[in-house]
Amino acid sequence: MRAARFHAVGRPLQIESVERPQLRANDVLIRVRAAGMCYSDIHVLDGVIAADPPVTLGHEIAGIVEEVGSGVTGFGKGDRVLVHFLSPCGRCKRCLQGKGMQCLRLFEREGYGFSDDGGYAEYCRVDAERLIKLPDDLGIEFAATLGCAGITAYHAVKSVARVKMGESVVIYGAGGVGLYALQAARLAGAYTIAVARSEARLRLAESLGADHVVNAKESNLRREVRRLTDGAGADVVFDFVMTDESIRNSMGMLASGGRLVLVGVSNKPITIDPQITVLKEFSLLGSLVGTKDELEELVGLAASKRIRSVANRAFTLDEVNEALTMLRRGEIVGRGYVVP
């Protein structure tokens, strides 16, 4: 079968022929129908996120069950499935408390598309425990993008920031994750303000229900957010950009007692002003992906059309490097995905 594989930092993915994976007792073989493209793929190419080369990238994986291992129950050939790509152990203290993203063994275990082969391939082998069955009427490319962009947004809004009804929320950066976070915050009953530099992204945020959109290039952001929140500032800011500039703006637009949530992975240090932190008594929170339970809830919300798809651009396996370059340049509005 064909796969797009990562061999070394700084080199493009190699499209090559590899053996179709052999199943162990608890494995399922998925015929990949869509694999969403995430900025983390670029972080892998750049050496910001560690992977285990050679490895097939692609961690937003949705497809159809082709074959199941001898020990698998509950899944059969033809089932439509979505992969929860991280593998919390389910047994440690944190997992038992429902905090799978703080699992004590999280980074020793499978991460499909990082340590283990992912979805930029015709087939992908996954432990059956990591699978969620999809309803028939949920688009497969929509489902794929829930696997990282969707779940990352949902976890950040619901479990980390715990956004409450009536709060004001700034979505700083309207990429794939930001656009799902916007929708999750709306569902939670928040008043939403989306900030981005591209008009196309702002229009998309508007069409997904943002109460206000602000172009970061043209406005005095902090003043604009204070104006839109009756002078108080935002209760929650989700910073998906994470540069010194965005953090400075985020801190400036927060209300006293607000929460600043960092989502996504970056290895660039940022500066936190201790004076603003203390004077505003704000909290700084980190948010990582999300649990399988949360992904199941999100699939339910998507199936009942309370979350809308941002997957809007398909690429073939042969186009994957070109597509990643577009992603790096910010040329994909919404979420791109590979159809192997």
Binding site for Zn ion (CB under 5 A): 38, 40, 88-89, 92, 95, 103, 148
Nearest distance from residue 291's CB to Zn ion, in Å? 11
Nearer to Zn ion, 189 or 330 (CB): 330
- CA dist., res. 12 & res. 324, Å (int): 9
- CA dist., res. 73 & res. 77, Å (int): 11
Q: Which of 282, 280, 281 is nearest to 262 (CA)?
A: 282
Nearer to Zn ion, 81 or 289 (CB): 289
Nearest distance from residue 108's CB to Zn ion, in Å? 10
Nearest distance from residue 175's CB to Zn ion, in Å? 11
Return the structure tokens found at 21. Answer: 């994976």
154 membership: H or E segment, kind and range: helix 151-155
Nearer to Zn ion, 99 or 197 (CB): 99
Distance of CA 230 to CAs 28, 171, 215, Å? 53, 18, 19
Nearest distance from residue 335's CB to Zn ion, in Å? 10
Nearest distance from residue 109's CB to Zn ion, in Å? 8
Alpha carbons within 13 angstroms on the beta-carbon side of residue 333 total 10
Nearer to Zn ion, 116 or 224 (CB): 116
Answer yes or no: are the C-beta atoms of 181 and 72 closer than 8 Å.
no
Nearest distance from residue 66's CB to Zn ion, in Å? 24
Nearer to Zn ion, 40 or 246 (CB): 40
DSSP labels for 205-271?
HHHTT-SEEEETTTS-HHHHHHHHTTTS-EEEEEESS-SHHHHHHHHHHEEEEEEEEEES---S---
Nearer to Zn ion, 228 or 338 (CB): 338
